[in-house]
Amino acid sequence: MTGPWRRIVLVGFMGSGKTEVGGALGRELGWAFEDLDAAVEERAGASVPEIFRTRGEQVFRELEGTLGDELLEGEGIVLATGGGWPCRPDRIDRLDEGSLSVWLRVSVEGAVARVHAQGGGRPLLAVDDPTKRARELLDERERWYERARWHVDGEAGTPDEVARRIADRLRTDPERPLRD
Ligand code: S3P
């Protein structure tokens, strides 16, 4: 039903809907859903903003890398990564052949609006001008996100609708790269 894929790895900017789409996609496929930020928080016993504040971004990135590797050993899972996870050379390019990477594309305005609606919680956007900061970060990061095998418009409908589009495509044409 899902071709050669044993796990789906969602990547994309903050506010692109990875967690919501990932949960819905897990339900569609009957697969477990894992959220990398939640796994980091559980392991650290602290929220992401607390980790940034008290231990620094570098410690967060190390935890994110370790927990990401652990979760990627699972099969039949949808994994929502954090927005910074794929932005290193040892990430998307080193996924094994059973992992389908999917980039949920989002506009700067859409990302900032969603993060705001969720009440913040993103230390990197807790600045005077989050839109400017988000534009700078997205400019730096797009070259990493682009490495994902599938590119999906994360703003074309509700998270359930985006998940259904991904699931439909997995059922009908799982192997061909997707540029949505
Ligand atoms: C980050 C994104 C966040 C979280 C942390 C850092 C980033 O996850 O991992 O605040 O560097 O883009 P979401 O993409 O789920 O917001």
List, as one string, the DSSP characters of 68-136: HHHHTT-SSEEEEPPTTTT-STTSGGG--TTEEEEEEE--HHHHHHHHHHTT---GGG-SS-HHHHHHH
Residue 87 Cα: closest atom of ligand 1: 11
Rounded to a whole number, what is the distance in angstroms from the first to the last CA of the chain?
A: 21
Q: CB neighbours of 37 closer than 8 A, spacing ≥ 6?
A: 19, 48, 80, 82
Q: Is the CB of 87 under 6 A from ligand 1?
A: no
**pLDDT computed for residue 120 by the predictor:** 82
Q: Is the CB of 48 under 6 A from ligand 1?
A: yes
Question: How confident is the prediction along the chain (180 residues), in pLDDT tens digits per residue?
Answer: 789 999 999 999 999 999 999 999 999 999 999 999 999 999 999 999 999 999 999 999 999 999 999 999 999 999 999 999 999 998 999 999 999 999 999 999 999 999 999 998 999 999 999 999 999 999 999 999 999 999 999 999 999 999 999 999 999 999 999 998
Q: Return d(Cα 143, Cα 157) in angstroms, integer.
A: 25
Say how many Å lie between the CA of residue 121 and the centre of ligand 1.
Answer: 9
Q: Is the CB of 122 under 6 A from ligand 1?
A: yes
Using DSSP, state whether 30 is helix, strand or coil. Answer: coil
Q: Let me know: does 173 contact 31? Beta carbons within 8 Å.
A: no
CA distances from 30 to 24, 27, 39, 129, 134 (A): 10, 5, 20, 40, 34
Say how many Å lie between the CA of residue 23 and the centre of ligand 1.
Answer: 17
**pLDDT computed for residue 180 by the predictor:** 86
Q: CB neighbours of 139 closer than 8 A, spacing ≥ 6?
A: none
